[in-house]
Chain A
């Protein structure tokens, strides 16, 4: 029903989606209808088989029971994935609602199908399955993708808020609901205090991942983002610990009274469980980092080590009745830094994707299961309890936010404004965690479990749908202080400078540096930990790797010098491109930022962009590789077509590249002579889009445009010659030739002839010397771009 409602948004996608949904539905339907008959047959067959071993083998049988659980789970996941595809095909929808809405809707759809067909859903969710298999991947993922630096910078506030906030919410909601239960008119008299507290603890587990996506899009300030992230990270752990302790209390309460000592013990236990879990996590994190040090020869095993050790930390902590969630989080945070440096690039990618995949599978399953259990008979509706739950959830969240932030603001340099606090209050979205905990309540201890589940579902639906959808507009409306992620290289530079400046000033001021602890850790880290944990003998002897490195370096250089969007060479839209040339293209800025990020000392990392469901592509190296390949191809193509000269390219095809300017040193003399020379081997000039050059003043500009491309290749080749020789040593003669060309740069007049020769000979022998070709083309390109980049600027006026 919900899905049909969205059909008008984008009929195409939704039709597609619906079709797939129906296919899947029909498919499982088919299976189900055959299922019952098959089962009967099967039973008969088994019965027969047990009594008479010499039965004939049937040619065709169906054994659905055997595969039911994995089969249906697979179908669910597939269905959810298809729905996600449809969801993201639509352009506007992801901006309108969080993805968890979609998952819940799909779950409800599956639930409706199951309910309608009277089919019994497989018991995917029970306590042990949830805690042993579904929960760890989710927690591991959020721990592993945590932006370490801002997290630790805001550690105090995060711990204060996430820890105390969860407790305050749990007890607040529990106690106030207990008061409500005392009102005889509501018929809730049989729910005792412990049960209420337990309900409070499970309902206070917020899951603001959906909100994080909104924040990222709205670019809210880093502090706010980290508060919500920290809450998402730690809240689960705290709620689960509380939940388990309260369950233990409830069990105990069945047989005897609870004494104050027990309560004290419970508090102590809470601390022990939390700290112990984190401790084990750190230990296992170090161990796994240490082990990945030795895996260079069997890199396929690296992801396995990472996953198994994280899981082991979880299991060990659980064995000792410590918090496995905190253990696995701590483990992920600890090892991430070292593992990333030890493992190979591919393993690293594998780890990331596998982690995303596992956690999204877990979450999908939980959400679908939530949908499934929404539609069914196991509900108990009590207006009073449910409404008050909803109200108290909001009230207590508001109280905890405003009280806790009032306190923590006293200690912060930059306090959270009221707007920030409002947004934090509003982002209290409940999710899979609350539902799972409610669903797993033991029925023997909680006779009103159905009521709890219903209330939890209502809270989740309310928060996910209403708050999740409206938080985006709210953030925009409140105009929360933004981070400045403008695409501006100046800004990037200034900010970096400022970071260093601040570090320097703190150093000058000496001992009371804010980052004192971090610096201490850094030194310790460099002195001991890194030496022990990180393998530093990078494979440098291997010839191949050296070559690759050089090639990569060259490509990265190209990226750096802004040749990045050369991939757009063959794309037909030219005029469009000239429009967006006022600023650096986003790719250029991105690549610059990349260089800055990777190469500076003690830089403050930006909040990594975090998305529960997706990975940001690892840009730099991949791009470099692509560019390299692309570059070769384009060069080859252009050579075949016969216009290899970069200045023959129509101007509008490329993005503007300011960066290539440094190479274009004006030559002192001989300008006038050149004009004639240029015009004759420049046939394609006439094809240039008129807009581009109409604005040129007739004198001077043409030569200037010419100047740059010709000069650059030789100059750059000359300069960068040494490392590049590696790849094409066999072309010794050519090199010589090149050398001559390079020297020719000093004498303006013969220069262009030299270049021409170069290119002609290149055309002939291009096939044998692809590396050389790519080199030349790559060297020429910046120049070629250079002449282009004039025009948009000129045009701007």
Chain B
């Protein structure tokens, strides 16, 4: 009896923290136990049990994101060895759809959170910048599903994207520097420019800028996490 009581207590607490409904939490808990094999925590190896994930080209990035301290709100860098159910929920809560009843500010906040999660996927060394190396890495992984595409083209895509990002983000910066002309170029490492002129990588602010026009609200969400909330609301 007492155990059941404390369990529901716990659930309520989790509800408040993550915004999931108790039904969802229950379902996710079931899944969590399935993944962990009835252990209190999940380790990286547990994700090997998800057969559908095998085919995903960015599998390692996804798994990594689950253990990333920044996503778990536990620190600014590093990886956790194992995560408990609450952490699991925290990660999942990044994929809750944006509630239509939220006001503008909350939406912006939510949007930022989601983008931060994405940003962390790119920024694997947690230095707050997506460097060219990291970007290339991601693109290569994305294209790894097809064996016919060569690394070269993946790289050139990443480089093109980087150049574009640089030209989008550094615009005013460069203008401020006046004659410093090489900033975007040095982004790809082609030129040994002076250190203060190098575009070192996409910072989170730049990342936000790039995402400006994209309605992440409709994109970054997983459908099932929403179904029950609607059912509950009405």
Q: Which residues of A contact B (CB under 8 A)?
A: 221, 410-411, 413-415, 481, 484, 486, 488-491, 493-498, 500-514, 519, 557, 560-562, 582-584, 588, 592, 595-596, 598-602, 658-662, 664-666, 695-697, 704, 708, 719, 790, 793-794, 796-797
User: 7 interchain pairs (CB within 8 A)?
Assistant: A489-B164, A494-B118, A498-B220, A508-B62, A510-B50, A514-B223, A596-B157
User: Chain A contacts of B92 at CB under 8 A?
Assistant: 505, 509
User: Chain A contacts of B157 at CB under 8 A?
Assistant: 489, 493, 560, 592, 595-596, 659
A599 CB contact (under 8 Å) in B143, B159, B234: B143
User: B231 CB to closest chain A CB, in angstroms?
Assistant: 9
How far, in whole Å, are A337 and B144 apart by their CA atoms in the complex? Answer: 24
Q: Known contacts being A512-B224, A602-B55, A790-B185, is A662 close to B159, with CB within 8 Å?
A: yes
B192 in the interface, Cβ–Cβ < 8 Å? Answer: yes
B179 in the interface, Cβ–Cβ < 8 Å? Answer: yes
Per the CB 8 Å criterion, the residue count for chain B at the interface is 74
CB <8 Å contact, A497 and B138: yes
In chain B, residues 167-213, which have Cβ atoms closer than 8 Å to a Cβ of chain A? 167-168, 171, 174-175, 178-179, 181-182, 184-185, 188, 190-192, 210-211, 213
User: Chain B contacts of A797 at CB under 8 A?
Assistant: 174-175, 178-179, 181
In chain B, residues 85-104, which have Cβ atoms closer than 8 Å to a Cβ of chain A? 92, 95, 97, 100
How far, in whole Å, are A399 and B34 apart by their CA atoms in the complex? Answer: 47
Q: In this complex, which of A486, A493, A496 has the most chain B Cβ atoms within 10 angstroms of its Cβ? A: A493
Closest to B178 in A: A797
Q: Among B6-14, B69-77, B147-155, which stretch is in contact with chain A?
A: B147-155
CB <8 Å contact, B215 and A599: no
User: Chain B contacts of A493 at CB under 8 A?
Assistant: 138-139, 142, 157, 161
Q: Give the top 6 A-B pairs by smallest Cβ distance, nearest first.
A: A601-B145, A514-B223, A658-B163, A599-B146, A504-B62, A507-B52
B164 CB contact (under 8 Å) in A413, A599, A601, A658: A658
Q: In this complex, which of A513, A562, A595, A599 has the most chain B Cβ atoms within 10 angstroms of its Cβ? A: A599
How far, in whole Å, are A743 and B234 apart by their CA atoms in the complex? Answer: 73
How far, in whole Å, are A297 and B161 apart by their CA atoms in the complex? Answer: 43
CB <8 Å contact, B58 and A491: no
CB <8 Å contact, B56 and A505: no
How far, in whole Å, are A316 and B203 apart by their CA atoms in the complex? Answer: 62
User: Chain A contacts of B108 at CB under 8 A?
Assistant: none
B43 in the interface, Cβ–Cβ < 8 Å? Answer: no
User: Chain B contacts of A221 at CB under 8 A?
Assistant: 218
CB <8 Å contact, B153 and A557: yes
Closest to B27 in A: A512
User: B137 CB to closest chain A CB, in angstroms?
Assistant: 12
CB <8 Å contact, B222 and A509: yes
B221 in the interface, Cβ–Cβ < 8 Å? Answer: yes
Closest to A500 in B: B58
How far, in whole Å, are A561 and B146 apart by their CA atoms in the complex? Answer: 18
CB <8 Å contact, A508 and B160: no
CB <8 Å contact, B27 and A497: no
Q: Known contacts being A592-B160, A797-B178, is A508 close to B167, with CB within 8 Å?
A: no
B214 CB contact (under 8 Å) in A495, A664, A696: A495
User: B70 CB to closest chain A CB, in angstroms?
Assistant: 16
CB <8 Å contact, B167 and A507: no
User: B104 CB to closest chain A CB, in angstroms?
Assistant: 16
Q: Known contacts being A493-B161, A497-B138, A509-B92, is A560 close to B156, with CB within 8 Å?
A: yes
